Structure 1
């Protein structure tokens, strides 16, 4: 450990020396061009995360390193160090002051409190028992987790924070590793929300498509174009298939294979055996009140309240936003047919998901408290104490999210995404464009930890570029799909992505363990998406051939290259 700290210290000193001696150029807009140094924050955070095994320290040092690069222009090391520390504080305050970010922090904490209330009332235990009766073994337990992820299609955050805690007791009992559960949760969060016809993602994606087509002088129905991109969202579709195949074949590879083999040997009654490196233990330690009657309704009603309130909230929040806006076409749509499919889709897209989910979780918590008090599971005072105790389990999640957002702000100030675009978007043959866009989107979203930001950067470039290279409308659609799915792929791999963080916390597993086990799977599916998806699609092969072939290859890859977990036959479904 001492030797490792010495190495890190020496590398830090070398970094300071190299940064201070760097000669940064000035761009045409008068701004400083940091070039390769713009990659410092994500590289430092990601490398240190794997070296130190501590996400908080790694993110903090990544932000500090990025701020040091920004302030090193003056050449004074002492001033740069002081300003870097002050910048971390400023980034954190600015990130928390953002209405959307604050809403996410609040919804995360409140959902943690809601889960604690349901646990104390015996609701989660009852659901686990009910699901356990349906889940006869590891196959069905994983498939049920996957189905629940599909059911919560409307928002990736809600998915990550609900499916993990609900399914955790079931997968623990069936000796499925927490790492595998977090992978299933993560693989059915953004990949599902990104292609759902109605979700909190749709409005943003449709808006980017609309702007891209306007840039080339074309007036289109952006939502129709969005639907046309779905068959070309190879990574989303193939990842969903991949999850099912790992469950049905009971085959894994890489670090996940080790985690699953370890899980098959552990004692399901020993939490330390199940989760040797827990991120938080408050929810694991919570048990139903002694003597309380276990009822699935103590979980179904609060979660149902959360889902219904969220769906209603998405609509009315978006409706009010549209009616207060200046888009006369949308206002006309909402006035003439407010509950049509188009009206609902537009309202969902315009809603503030973070605020709505916070409101819905708060309402669901009040419902759970009232139910518990009525059943004499606890008093109002005990209900509040339990609720706050549940929040404690996700405070670490809030801290990581806050640091991840601060890192993103540092990355933006350094122009990391712009540098990557200029570095990787050279001239290329037409058929390679969708693949290059997918890879570029993957790199940017991995480095920045945000799929939304990556989509916003690339879509205005991809559609005009595709239109300039080829006048084929289908080619433009393929390129737009490559932006949307490439951003999700990189985000899925990134240890600094908010959905990756929430998935590990929801499943109750060490964050880096989740990243290490999931990354080989994401990379494998990403490679298949390029070789058997975007390359043949770019060459003009029909999608009705490309998509089925890529799905067969995905299943075959796991079947032939995955290794059996080697369970006794009697324990299989």
Structure 2
């Protein structure tokens, strides 16, 4: 079977564009992703029906069995989702979720405080974006439901405290990956003596999108800046409709579960705390083992750089589930209720598993079409170096949007940004690298085929496309602010002036949003 290359062709954009546009129009994610996958397979096999069938069969099989061995990364992530669904359901069955909601009624004064607490939790649990979205969602959902915060708003909070926090946190799976990637790039360009961690820290204030996405989220929570589709979802939530029930039960949500009357908040906080601590332990220990095997001294940054995220999440969830089960038995929960809770919790995650597997498949197809390389090639023209940070921000955003992956965009775009900086104006190296990081997170936020976006909607118990559409206006506002900031940075050469420009535009945007959201306020 011959595979055709589309690295230099705009046709490589066709599958992701079809999938994204169709998903937005039809709101049917699996159908849209499936059609995108089919088109990609046809393109790669020169429209051979038999070849396409063979190719897609191989791609689907590779999700669980690849290169003669189990695809451990995928299986660990899928297993983590199922186990977390069980933990969440057991917490509900034990009555602990209801007890937490009752506790919140006494200690959390209003809807605003519920949202702010969720943001705080999202910023604290920063070790991995998958972990952030799912675990914080499980903890915060009873609280936000109690105060009639729409599931779409919860998904927005989860998504905007996942990647934006991880991308500026050195002690996270994202930070370690970026530090390792940038370290290799700088070394290849003769900066071997530069401290890679210090370089990462220097780039934090240059990541305009991540910083101002977090700031806008806080303003939305404090001021109720509900615009566009989000306003409609929040209005419906005030009537008790936390999600669109006409579309069925969203991924990650369970209904009709029996609840014990003897629940307490310890039944929620202890399993989740153990889950967090166990996952952190496994991430550090697995990375430490790799360091030891290489004969290197232990460091937290080094451990996170070499950690096995998938296995750490899975093993952490196993420990968390064990603690949840023990607490349920000690509490005296009927065995039939426990079994029913675990079964329904696992089943509640099936829609998320299907969407994630389809997203992984289309990502693999897009990777073979070399869509990312085609997007990157658009930046190699005769562009004035003053505009390069802004141009790279946009192209990284489009690449992440089309491919559904921030990490893949980092791997493609960061080396190109470094080469362009060395070939034009080396002093702009760090701003250009930061612009790629910012653009990749922006594109990831907007993309319906992004795994982080999928898991944020799962963690919130929100229909996936509803999350994408309600988050999009906020992401575009911050992207516009960031784009102007990178333009100013490029022409002035000053990070400070670029940041001040973003700050000014941010204040103006918040004022305008406040005025718009006050019109017809509920």
Same structural fold, with TM-score higher than 0.5 when normalized by the shorter chain: yes
1:221 lines up with 2:195 in the alignment: yes
TM-score by length of 2: 0.93
Whole-angstrom distance in 2 between the partners of 1:32 and 1:510: 33
Q: Deviations over 1:174-229 (max 9, x none)?
A: 22221111111110011111111311112210111012112212212211111111
Whole-angstrom distance in 1 between the partners of 2:253 and 2:513: 37
Whole-angstrom distance in 2 between the partners of 1:484 and 1:279: 35
Change (3 A) 1:506 1:390: same
**Cα deviation, residue 277, structure 1:** 3.0
Q: Secondary structure at the match of 1:182?
A: helix
Q: Which residue of 2 aligns with 1:289?
A: 259
1:428 lines up with 2:401 in the alignment: no
2:510 to 558, 563, 569: 558
Whole-angstrom distance in 1 between the partners of 2:18 and 2:249: 22
Q: Which residue of 1 aligns with 2:216?
A: 242
Tell whether the 8 Å contact from 2:93 to 2:337 is kept in structure 1 after alignment. no
Q: Which residue of 2 aligns with 1:313?
A: 282
Change (3 A) 1:276 1:183: farther
The Cα RMSD (Å) is: 2.2
Q: Which residue of 2 aligns with 1:146?
A: 119
1:47 lines up with 2:17 in the alignment: no
Whole-angstrom distance in 2 between the partners of 1:42 and 1:281: 23
Tell whether the 8 Å contact from 1:138 to 1:171 is kept in structure 2 after alignment. yes
Tell whether the 8 Å contact from 2:6 to 2:370 is kept in structure 1 after alignment. no
Q: Deviations over 1:364-395 (max 9, x none)?
A: 1011101110110133x653442232011111
1:81 to 36, 40, 49: 49
**Cα deviation, residue 138, structure 1:** 2.3
Tell whether the 8 Å contact from 1:459 to 1:483 is kept in structure 2 after alignment. yes
Whole-angstrom distance in 2 between the partners of 1:176 and 1:107: 26
1:322 to 267, 288, 291: 291
Tell whether the 8 Å contact from 2:98 to 2:263 is kept in structure 1 after alignment. yes
Tell whether the 8 Å contact from 1:142 to 1:247 is kept in structure 2 after alignment. yes
Bigger shift: residues 391-400 or 173-182: 173-182
Tell whether the 8 Å contact from 1:242 to 1:555 is kept in structure 2 after alignment. no
Tell whether the 8 Å contact from 1:25 to 1:34 is kept in structure 2 after alignment. no
Whole-angstrom distance in 1 between the partners of 2:98 and 2:227: 32
Tell whether the 8 Å contact from 1:279 to 1:511 is kept in structure 2 after alignment. no
Change (3 A) 1:366 1:155: same
**Cα deviation, residue 322, structure 1:** 1.9
Change (3 A) 1:86 1:382: farther
Q: Which residue of 1 aligns with 2:250?
A: 280
Q: Which residue of 1 aligns with 2:68?
A: none
Q: Which residue of 2 aligns with 1:458?
A: 413
Tell whether the 8 Å contact from 1:141 to 1:171 is kept in structure 2 after alignment. yes
Q: Which residue of 1 aligns with 2:181?
A: 208
Q: Which residue of 2 aligns with 1:526?
A: 479
In structure 2, runs of 5+ residues without a counterpart are 66-70
Whole-angstrom distance in 1 between the partners of 2:24 and 2:451: 17
Tell whether the 8 Å contact from 1:280 to 1:394 is kept in structure 2 after alignment. no
Bigger shift: residues 126-135 or 243-252: 126-135
Q: Secondary structure at the match of 2:492?
A: coil
Whole-angstrom distance in 1 between the partners of 2:402 and 2:17: 7
Whole-angstrom distance in 1 between the partners of 2:144 and 2:337: 29
In structure 1, runs of 5+ residues without a counterpart are 1-23, 335-342
1:116 to 77, 89, 103: 89
Q: Which residue of 2 aligns with 1:199?
A: 172
Tell whether the 8 Å contact from 2:101 to 2:146 is kept in structure 1 after alignment. no
Tell whether the 8 Å contact from 2:404 to 2:444 is kept in structure 1 after alignment. yes
For the pair shown, the structure with the greater C-alpha radius of gyration is 1
1:349 to 301, 305, 314: 305
Q: Which residue of 2 aligns with 1:13?
A: none
How does 1:496-507 map onto structure 2 within 5 Å?
A: 496-507=449-460
Bigger shift: residues 122-131 or 296-305: 122-131
TM-score by length of 1: 0.85
Whole-angstrom distance in 2 between the partners of 1:459 and 1:211: 11
1:396 lines up with 2:372 in the alignment: no
Q: Which residue of 2 aligns with 1:367?
A: 323
Aligned length: 514
Q: Which residue of 2 aligns with 1:407?
A: 362
Whole-angstrom distance in 1 between the partners of 2:223 and 2:151: 19
Q: Deviations over 1:56-93 (max 9, x none)?
A: 11111110100001111xxxx5xx12322332222122
1:512 to 447, 462, 465: 465
Q: Secondary structure at the match of 2:148?
A: coil
Change (3 A) 1:545 1:282: closer
Q: Which residue of 2 aligns with 1:176?
A: 149
Whole-angstrom distance in 2 between the partners of 1:566 and 1:293: 45
Tell whether the 8 Å contact from 1:116 to 1:286 is kept in structure 2 after alignment. no
Q: Secondary structure at the match of 2:141?
A: helix
Q: Which residue of 1 aligns with 2:441?
A: 488
1:186 lines up with 2:159 in the alignment: yes
1:257 lines up with 2:231 in the alignment: yes
Bigger shift: residues 182-191 or 33-42: 33-42
Change (3 A) 1:566 1:276: farther
Q: Which residue of 1 aligns with 2:495?
A: 543
